[in-house]
Structure 1
């Protein structure tokens, strides 16, 4: 007898308790960072235009970057972009049939997170 597994929908309140492997979390986080990038890019362009308008605005921006809270904000914004880029590379590598096994996919997921965070620390500490 062939028993089929019963498929059931879960409630939104059950999502937090639902076990999801790291590869699934990486996939969801890649989508979230993609949405955040779509929202942040126009804001950055407007902000960049304001900075380049004159030297006074540029000097204000340089002064603000010495504030620790602004550096923390820049850290998270950089992390969004870097994580999305490296996660995208991971998906491109998976498209050519590398790292699609369960174990290697899990390793690639951790490598994606580690590389994006380390590169972000390197970028933040050097400016």
Structure 2
């Protein structure tokens, strides 16, 4: 008989609902979740917000003026800013996923760096379009 002690294999368990708030996702995981959320937001906003605004802008000059007055409301601008973020984030993350599909930047360090880049670029673009939306320039 051998006197060697068998190594205990690591045990991986699913986390419990009460542990969700303590669980720390890597940056790429947070990006993935927000990519799904932004896609769902755009999908739901299209028939509810965007198509009616587009219809108002094309129907007549009077309805266009009504649409301009509606979009001039600060609360509506905040909603539109959220939709701008949603589009920018989804677009930038989609490009990252296309690059990952080509097996570029799949190691842990490169994936974290590209996820950070997506956040930086999408938030910068959102800020630029938000400044334009709120009439700063």
Q: TM-score, normalised by structure 2?
A: 0.82
Q: Which residue of 2 aligns with 1:119?
A: 125
Query: 3-state SS of the aligned residue for 1:23?
Result: helix
CA contact (8 A) 2:41 2:83 kept: no
Match of residue 73, structure 1, among 74, 79, 82: 79
Give 5+ residue unaligned stretches, structure 1: none
CA distance in 2, matches of 1:97, 1:83: 21
Q: Which residue of 2 aligns with 1:39?
A: 44
Q: Which residue of 1 aligns with 2:3?
A: none
Q: Which residue of 1 aligns with 2:100?
A: 94
Give 5+ residue unaligned stretches, structure 2: 1-5
Q: Which residue of 1 aligns with 2:10?
A: 5
Deviation at 1:123, TM superposition (A): 1.7
Deviation at 1:46, TM superposition (A): 3.2
**Greater Rg by CA:** 2
How many residues are treated as equivalent by the alignment?
A: 127
CA distance in 2, matches of 1:116, 1:32: 15
CA distance in 2, matches of 1:111, 1:88: 13
Deviation at 1:2, TM superposition (A): 4.9
Judged with a 3 Å threshold, the aligned counterparts in structure 2 of structure 1 residues 63 and 126 are, in CA distance, closer, same or farther, namely same
CA distance in 2, matches of 1:55, 1:105: 49
Judged with a 3 Å threshold, the aligned counterparts in structure 2 of structure 1 residues 2 and 49 are, in CA distance, closer, same or farther, namely farther
CA distance in 1, matches of 2:128, 2:107: 31
Q: Which residue of 2 aligns with 1:21?
A: 26
Report Cα offsets for 1:25-71 as digits up to 9, x if no partner.
Answer: 11111111122222112222233223322222211221233333222
